[in-house]
Chain A
Amino acid sequence: EAQVTQNPRYLITVTGKKLTVTCSQNMNHEYMSWYRQDPGLGLRQIYYSMNVEVTDKGDVPEGYKVSRKEKRNFPLILESPSPNQTSLYFCASSQTSGSYNEQFFGPGTRLTVL
């Protein structure tokens, strides 16, 4: 089954404790992206990757890091999480970076930073 998977689905952590949210897709997609969803704000892009070893900042990149060492994986790293990073995070992928492409979303990771 074609899908985007994320782990963990739920995470409660404390301020400053480094964490990684994994994202993997099995569709051989070139483009991958991370979004955060906050009430009343919709989804906002954090980082994106157009292909292996090619990443760039989205609209809200502060406090996050990413890497793209393999085509299928695009982990999101919070080196020193803070309470304002409490949010619902979605990973997405699409065939290419063309603006007409449908993006496929993972199930989401709900993060709480205390």
Chain B
Amino acid sequence: AQSVTQLGSHVSVSEGALVLLRCNYSSSVPPYLFWYVQYPNQGLQLLLKYTSAATLVKGINGFEAEFKKSETSFHLTKPSAHMSDAAEYFCAVSVSGGYNKLIFGAGTRLAVHP
């Protein structure tokens, strides 16, 4: 069965610093992986997704993630944090087998300090 682990429920960085949000997955078949962002009082918005093409995936707002099969990881990074990046971030794996069910991690809340 698929599962997702996000290390760190809260991450705090200074504006301009590197953002690194960790995600490890478990899957018995090649996975599809997603990062979603949730701003306060809003729904989830797709940041980026991995669908077995390039292992380095670029998304919106300067975020990117690298799929590492050997480490079963899909960490999210951004070189320079902005105040507007403060939000909750969810890593998710899509269950194979014919229907589009997402298995989510518990989420990481990112705080950005001036």
Contact = CB atoms under 8 A, between A and B. Distances in A.
Given A42-B106, A42-B107, A98 B43 contact: no
Interface in B39-81: 41-46, 49, 51
Nearest to B102: A103
B44 A105 contact: yes
Contact of B43 (A33, A48, A99, A105): A105
Interface residues of B, number: 28
Interface of A: 4, 31, 33, 35, 40-45, 48, 50, 56, 58, 90, 92, 94, 96-103, 105-108
Given A43-B44, A103-B46, 17 more contacts: A42-B90, A42-B104, A42-B106, A43-B102, A44-B104, A45-B101, A48-B99, A50-B99, A56-B99, A97-B100, A99-B32, A99-B97, A99-B101, A102-B34, A103-B100, A105-B45, A107-B43
